[in-house]
Amino acid sequence: MRELLDETLSQEGFEVFTAADAASALATLEAHSVYAVVTDLNLGGVNGIELCQRVHALDATLPVVLITAFGSLDAAVGAVRAGAYDFITKPFKMEQLVLALRRAANLRDIQTELSALRASVARASAFGTLVGESEPMQKLRSTLDRVARSDAAVLILGESGTGKELIAKSIHANGNRKKGPFVAVNMSAIPATLIESELFGHARGAFTSARDKHDGLFVQANGGTLFLDEVGELPIELQPKLLRALEQGCVRPVGGEQDVRFDARIIAATHRDLAARVEEGTFREDLYFRLNVLDIHAPPLRARGRDVLTLAQHFLEPLARAAKRPELSLSPDAAQRLLEYTWPGNVRELKNCIERAVALSRTDHISLADLPERIREFDPGHLVVVSRDIDALLPLEVIERRYVLHVLDACGGNRTVAAEVLGMGRKTLYRKLLEWEGERSSSRPSSIK
């Protein structure tokens, strides 16, 4: 059996070491780094469960797969308690073992990566820096390095939760105005009736509650950076005043008679598709181009690959320390699910997920059960449709339409971001949407009066 497994697994691409007994196996493990151990339960002398325990004494993360002809519940429970990764009963198909070993190898890779991430996060000194080494993040940092040297207006586009304010702070911290103030305002969080006063200030007595003079945010940001978050929510009637402030470098406080000059760099951000809003007439084109001198796209978390684990560890470290549980770490199963999930809420959702898991975990590892149900029950293959029934198959144009609309919905209706995800030009996406809307309109029955 040992020779058969050696030959078969070698043909499957594994590098295999063999041993006739537990003592030889342990000696091999001390001499070589391996991804997994396969052992029979009945070895004569030291059995497979005892070997599993000794293996874990050498390396607690090394997966062990036990093979036995005695598929009793007691044996299975004993194997699991000893730390076995999998338990296969004879007779078995070789494909079962190969699959178990590939999963074990993947588990080992994740465990190694998690260990490296813990060490990397421990070495990081600046909290709140842009975390991640994926290609989108490397491109983003390269862009920011050039943008920070300029004083031109910046428009940051991206879905909610992608860290647009963090990007704005990074530009400020590495720019010429880093010694000045960084003033941030979320336009969607201010009642429409107060936006003008907040941005431009007001004179004493300008309205009932204006007992004192108030410097607006433009003036407060003098010498530094003003970050206008969710600028797409600015009411259309206030957009000309914002445009005037940007073009002339001065503001007129509400109820005031004199303009007040300011010198601040403007960084705006939105999860809205401003180009589409310009076409709809709800956002001024001249203001759009005035804000969009330099544009930056914050990548969604689903496009950042294994940055998910880097960020998870980045959030986990301080949360675990605050909970006085510095040994807390992600289990491989939980890490795998974090990689599979699509993160519609992006980095903000991931941070909330880790915070919740730290609060709920009762062991030294965050398990799959500690994750929110929507993540725990997520099916990574939910978009795949397989059918052998020819009547159930769909034309390619129908599948394309459904998928495009699904991506557009996942991107919160932002056509610019959706076009990037789909890998097509924004104009191409607009054309398709108009065609489909036209088809839907023409298919509606006309009213009869």
Shortest CA distance to 85 belongs to which of 98, 106, 66? 66
Q: What is the CATH number of domain 390-443?
A: 1.10.10.60
CB atoms within 10 A of CB 403: 12
Residue type, position 127, single letter = F
Closest C-alpha to 159, from 337, 428, 408: 408
Helix ranges (DSSP H) in 59-174:
73-81, 94-123, 135-147, 164-173
Whether the predicted pLDDT of 390 surpasses 50 = no
- Within 10 angstroms of residue 345's Cβ, the number of other Cβ atoms is 18
Where is average pLDDT lowest: 69-78, 250-259, 425-434? 69-78
Would the CA dihedral through 154, 155, 158, 160 be positive or negative? Answer: positive
> Cα–Cα–Cα angle for 163, 107, 338, nearest 5°?
25
CA separation (Å) from 429 to 176, 276, 302, 424?
39, 11, 21, 7
**Domain 135-299 is of which CATH architecture?**
3-Layer(aba) Sandwich (3.40)
For residue 386, what pLDDT is reported?
A: 43
Q: Does domain 2-122 have CATH number 3.40.50.2000?
A: no
pLDDT tens-place string over residues 303-342: 888 889 989 998 998 999 999 988 888 888 899 899 988 8
Nearest C-alpha neighbor of 187 from the set 72, 278, 65, 271:
271
pLDDT higher than threshold 70 for residue 81: no
347 pLDDT above the threshold of 90: yes
Give the separation between CA 366 and CA 360, rounded to whole angstroms. Answer: 9
Average pLDDT in the chain: 81
Closest by alpha carbon to 186, among 140, 223, 217, 208? 217
Model confidence band, residue 392 (pLDDT cutoffs 50, 70, 90): very low
- State yes or no: pLDDT of 89 exceeds 50: yes
Kind plus residue range of the DSSP H or E element containing 296: strand 294-297
Q: CA–CA distance from 290 to each of 158, 232, 271, 295 (Å)?
A: 19, 14, 18, 11
Short-list 34, 168, 172, 167, CA closest to 101? 34
Does residue 187 have a pLDDT over 80?
Answer: yes
pLDDT value for 200? 87
**Pick the residue with more confidence: 103 or 184?**
184
The b/e string for 118-154 (b: 16+ C-beta within 10 A; e otherwise) is eeebeeeeeeeeebbebebbeebeebbeebbeeeebb
pTM passes above 0.85: no
- H/E segment holding residue 71: none
Contact 55, 37 (CB under 8 A): yes
**Contact indicator for 426, 416 with CB cutoff of 8 Å:** yes
- Upstream peptide bond of 191 is cis (omega within 30 degrees of 0): no
- The per-residue pLDDT for 442 is 53
Tell me if 2-122 shares its fold with 135-299: yes
- What are the domain boundaries of the chain? 2-122, 135-299, 303-345+362-376, 390-443
H/E element, 294: strand 294-297
DSSP secondary structure letters along 215-254: E-HHHHTTTSEEEEETGGGS-GGGHHHHHHHHHHSEE--B
pLDDT of residue 381: 54
Q: What is the pLDDT of residues 24-78, one digit of tens each?
A: 888 888 888 888 888 887 777 777 778 888 887 777 778 888 887 765 556 666 6
In three-state secondary structure terms, 64 is strand
